[in-house]
Structure 1
Amino acid sequence: MLNRHDELIHHDILPRLEKVEKAQLDFSTQVEAISSQVSEIKSSQTNLELTVMKDGQETRGLLTKFIDHSFAVDKAKLDAQRDVIHRDERITLKRFSTREKIVLGIVGAFAGSGGILAGIAGLLQILK
């Protein structure tokens, strides 16, 4: 019986045990390889994040300069248009004679701020 157990251990159990130990060693080697790859991926991801953040910051800086420039150009155009409009208005008013200015003032007084309505109400009171 002792020989049978010895034969069973040497032919059946020991080869299986060697296979398990080899598989465990291969598994440990693969885990180490995967761990080093994960570390490399983390490092690459960190570098990529930094690069993207730097690019984003540069882009925001350029866009800020562009927007400021664009608003400055738009403001200059609007100021120029206002100057032209005000100049045209001044020229138009200067062409009116004194008599025309008085007539325009009277019409504006009656027409402005409910003057026409007050005139109509007064006319209705007179007609009653």
Structure 2
Amino acid sequence: MEEKDMLNSHEEIIHKNILPRLDVVEKAQAAFQQEVATIKSDLMGVQRGQAQLELTVMKDGKETRDMLKQFVNHVLDQDKQESQAKLEDKKAETQSKIEARKARWEIIGKVTVVLAGSGSIIYAWIELLKDKL
């Protein structure tokens, strides 16, 4: 009987103390597993969001680079046009100076020809007049 009492007492201890504690541990473990699953789910969402954000930043960066490239090309084209305009102005100025010098030398040449030619004519008249006198 003593063994039966002891067995009953162990059974009573198991049912009153150990099983309720085991139920509490199992419920806590289930809650913990649920929290872990929720955290994993949240982490997956954060990772997806981070990947989308990364793509957005990369896309925006590309758009920014493209815009900067267009801006730089525009500024360089403006500088090129301004340089070409200055070069054309200098070319035109130099050409006008050359034309002015040509015209001046043509006038000087014509005047010299006229003076030299008229001097010969005057000399010839003087010689003719001298011979007749």
Normalised TM-score (structure 2): 0.62
Q: Which has the higher contact order (CA 8 A, sep 6+)?
A: 1
Q: Please, which runs of 5 or more residues in structure 1 have no aligned partner? A: 99-128
* Cα displacement (A) at 1:92: 5.7
For 2:23, the equivalent position in structure 1 comes to 18
Which of 63, 76, 80 is the matching residue for 1:75? 80
Q: Please, which runs of 5 or more residues in structure 2 have no aligned partner? A: 1-5, 106-133
Which of 50, 68, 72 is the matching residue for 1:45? 50
% identical equivalent positions: 41
Deviations 1:12-44 (A, max 9, x none): 111111111001100111111111111111111
Number of aligned residue pairs: 98
Alignment of 1:5 with 2:7, yes or no, is no
Higher radius of gyration, 1 or 2: 2
1:106-125 map, 5 Å? none
Which of 57, 60, 71 is the matching residue for 2:62? 57
Runs of 4+ in 1 over 6 A off after TM superposition: 93-98
Deviations 1:74-126 (A, max 9, x none): 1111122233334445556777788xxxxxxxxxxxxxxxxxxxxxxxxxxxx
- In 2, Cα distance between the equivalents of 1:43 and 1:91? 71
